[in-house]
Amino acid sequence: MAAVRWPRSCEVRDPPYIHSGASSEQTYWLFCVAAVPVMAAGAWVFGYGIVAVYVSAALGALLGERVCRYFVSHGSRSRFPHAMAMGLMLAMTLPPTVGLGIPLVGGFLGIVIGKVVLGGMGNYLWHPALVGWALVHLISPGALAPARWPFLAAGHGLTGSLEAVMVGAGYRGFGLTVPPPGVEAWSTPRPIDRLIGAYSAPVADGGADRSLLSVFRDHLPPWSDTVWGVAGGGIGETCAVAVLVGGLVLIFCRASRWQLPVAALGTVAVLAAVWPVRVDAGLAGGAPGAPGLGQAASPASALWFPILSVREGFPVGVAAVLFHLTGGGLLTACFLIAPDPVSTPLSGRGHLLFGVGLGALAFVGRVSGLTPGSVYWAILAMNTVVPVIDRITRRRVPGA
């Protein structure tokens, strides 16, 4: 008796089986498209050499996909768009000076362990790109968490060299500080890393008191630098405009939901507005000015509801909220990485809960000193409770 040959349309494919009508390949191609403006902005800020980081991470992910498909389920279809998207997302989180071996290994491990070993396509619990990020972070933490992050100076975009770098002593902003001859790049801490220093007792830094006001006045660039991306950070984290463009593409094409980023960013904004900041006692009491060079720092006191604070005509509380939203990798995490359809809840209400938890964990991780990367650890933590969120947010059938 001849074997029955079922038509290709009747083949049982990998989960998920209930979806919006778009195939998983189409969905993850959209994630790759959304990464394009972020990649272009990163190339301008860090030089075209960062393209090699994206390529290395994508190749590692594709190699992991190919190897696992050959040994685990020989003959089944390869998920090329998914592996490509995971590699690009991993690369976004990495410093511009990272060696090419780290994204290659991270992309490979993210697919092999995060995707295939831990459930397979449609069944994995944790975001594969962040599993790869976490593994290489644990293997080589110094390479992924430098104290200073380089970026190209004004007039050297795209073609400048990060090797001709100057430590950012005296750096006040991209358009405000002219690099000396022979210098093509600055090296500074990330804006968010500067800011979270104000959430502990003031520490003398060259004799200047590190109060909340002095952080903005003496240590941080203008907020607009974080909007356009001319600041330190991961190669896909710095340009808020590019990230928003990519995120809106995903939302408009229904590859992700708006509830998650809105809830996460709103939660961070609320916490930044009310969370107590340790500031100089004189500033907390309304005394004008901050201790100058060579003066001793006053005792520290907690300033609650910093959103209401205005010092010397400068709205320090509002500035703190804005820097929390754009000064690190929060936007990239919320709009491009966290909305992975497999590792997020099924319903819009679930995405709201996921976003609130993500924002709260990311903010607490920041002010507790878990930087850089607190938002990525927060995504992995929320991935863990997605089954619980799905259970408590599922729609109840009347009479069932």
**CA distance readout (Å), 310 to 239, 307, 367:** 27, 8, 21
Q: Which residues contact 257 (CB under 8 A, 6 or more apart)?
A: 251, 339, 348, 351
**pLDDT for position 359:** 96
**pLDDT for position 89:** 96
**pLDDT for position 193:** 87
**pLDDT for position 209:** 35
Question: Where is the domain boundary, 109, 144, 179?
Answer: 144
Q: Identify whether 166 is part of a domain.
A: no
373: domain range?
A: 189-393
**pLDDT for position 206:** 36
Measured CA to CA, the distance from residue 96 to residue 236 in angstroms comes to 9
Question: Amino acid letter at 380?
Answer: L
Shared domain for 54 and 127, answered yes or no, is: yes
**pLDDT for position 302:** 67
**pLDDT for position 116:** 82
**pLDDT for position 296:** 39
Reading the block at residue 234, the tokens are 């991961």
* C-beta of residue 51 within 8 angstroms of C-beta of residue 39: yes
Shared domain for 25 and 125, answered yes or no, is: yes
**From the CB of residue 112, how many other CB atoms can be counted at a distance below 10 Å?**
22
Shared domain for 123 and 211, answered yes or no, is: no
Shared domain for 116 and 252, answered yes or no, is: no
Question: Amino acid letter at 196?
Answer: I
- The total number of structural domains that make up the chain: 2
R_g of the chain, CA atoms, integer Å:
23
Shared domain for 88 and 195, answered yes or no, is: no
Shared domain for 206 and 305, answered yes or no, is: yes
**pLDDT for position 75:** 44
Q: What does the pLDDT profile of the chain (400 residues) look like in tens digits?
A: 455 554 544 444 555 545 555 677 889 999 999 999 999 999 999 999 999 999 999 999 999 988 887 776 544 455 789 999 999 999 999 999 999 999 999 999 999 998 888 777 778 899 999 999 999 988 888 778 888 899 999 888 898 888 888 776 678 888 888 888 888 899 888 999 888 877 764 444 433 334 677 788 878 889 999 999 999 899 999 999 999 999 999 999 999 999 999 999 999 999 999 988 765 544 443 433 333 323 334 445 667 788 888 877 888 889 989 999 998 899 999 999 999 999 999 999 999 999 999 999 999 999 887 777 899 999 999 999 999 999 998 877 565 5
Q: Identify whether 350 is part of a domain.
A: yes
Q: Identify whether 176 is part of a domain.
A: no
Using CB atoms within 10 A of its CB, is residue 182 exposed (0-12), middle (13-18) or buried (19+)? exposed
Shared domain for 221 and 348, answered yes or no, is: yes
Nearest Cα to 133, choosing from 258, 236, 12, 15? Answer: 236
Shared domain for 231 and 299, answered yes or no, is: yes
**pLDDT for position 121:** 76
What is the pTM for the complete model shown? 0.85
Question: Where is the domain boundary, 144, 160, 177?
Answer: 144
**pLDDT for position 77:** 52
Shared domain for 289 and 351, answered yes or no, is: yes
Tens-digit pLDDT profile for residues 125-163? 999 999 999 999 888 887 788 888 999 998 888 988 888
